[in-house]
Amino acid sequence: MRSNDQLVRDAVMAFLECYARKDVGACLSCFAESSAVIAFGTNLDEVFTSRQEIQAGFERDFANMDKIGWGEARKFYIQAGEEIAIAMVELPIRYETGGKAEQLMLRYAFGLKKEAGSWKITAGSASVPTAPGNYDLAA
């Protein structure tokens, strides 16, 4: 039998694979249906508090991105109980936008819960780390 940690990792990776395929429906199937959801994107205005808002966010992303691919996870942290889990992952993403190739590092944090025996995302946050010295929190 697979451990909860491995099942949570599999659920996160399944979501990322659906995202790379630009499959909105499959991405949404990775999110909980029986409870509230929230997700923070990388843009200041990307605060999603419903499955409909999350869907619209995916549709905007996929309208602007092509050839999405993930690199190997550099860091992966999971803490899983029987019904609730957290997962954090850092990995590079590459994609094309406007015909131009882009690559950057992304960090994701997810809250997951068991729903009908499967791990589903209830909360998520995406961030793009910046180089040291790019901002001053004391300013």
Name the pTM for this structure.
0.91
Architecture of the structural domain at 4-127:
Roll (3.10)
Neighbours of 120 (CB within 10 A): 20
Q: Minimal CA–CA distance to 2: which of 81, 10, 85?
A: 10
- Rounded Cα distance between 22 and 59, Å, is 8
Q: What percent of the chain has pLDDT over 90?
A: 88
What are the respective helix, strand and coil percentages of the chain, to the nearest 5? 25, 40, 30
Instruction: Using DSSP, state whether 56 is helix, strand or coil.
Output: helix
pLDDT digits (tens, 9 = 90+) for 23-59: 999 999 999 999 999 999 998 999 999 999 999 999 9
